[in-house]
Amino acid sequence: MVVIGLSLVAAFLYSWYALQIPEVKANVAEMSVLKLWGVLVAVPAALIEEIIFRGYMMARLQQVRITPLVQVLLAAVAFSLLHLGFGFMGILCTFVVGLTLGGLYLLGQRNLLGPALCHGVINAVLEPWLLLWLLRFYSERFG
């Protein structure tokens, strides 16, 4: 139960931090079909990413006797590289989230419920706004 509480605290702290980005904060009150689709896609994506990075990757690393700390670090690096489109700060933030999710996974005795809950809440709260911000960012640069 402690892991569930910590997962929710981590999710809300990270969401609060990300909502301080002016471009993200500016779109919070706006409602749209795009945001609804963002949530509907982002929450299952969080579960899939947790199955891959924590459930599969960290379990495989454990099987070959990699220490838990290195498991968390490698999974966080792989997780952050998946998010290359977010720019340097986005990758750095995603790396920190990956470390947190890996820690929750270990703290929960390798149960995916804690990290999946944390990741799902982060994606539900932030993903639609981050998607809009990314679309604007890339359209201004390359459009």
pTM: 0.86
110 Ramachandran zone, left/alpha/beta (phi>0; psi -120 to 50): left
pLDDT score for 133: 66
- pLDDT in tens for each of the 143 residues of the chain? 899 999 999 999 998 988 887 767 776 767 778 777 777 888 898 999 999 999 999 999 999 999 999 999 999 999 999 888 777 888 898 999 999 999 999 999 999 999 999 999 998 888 766 666 666 766 777 76
Contact 132/34 with Cβ under 8 angstroms? yes
Contacts (Cβ under 8 Å, ≥6 apart) of 13: none
pLDDT score for 42: 82
3-state secondary structure of 113: helix
- What span, in angstroms and rounded, lies between the C-alpha atoms of 132 and 27? 8
pLDDT score for 130: 66
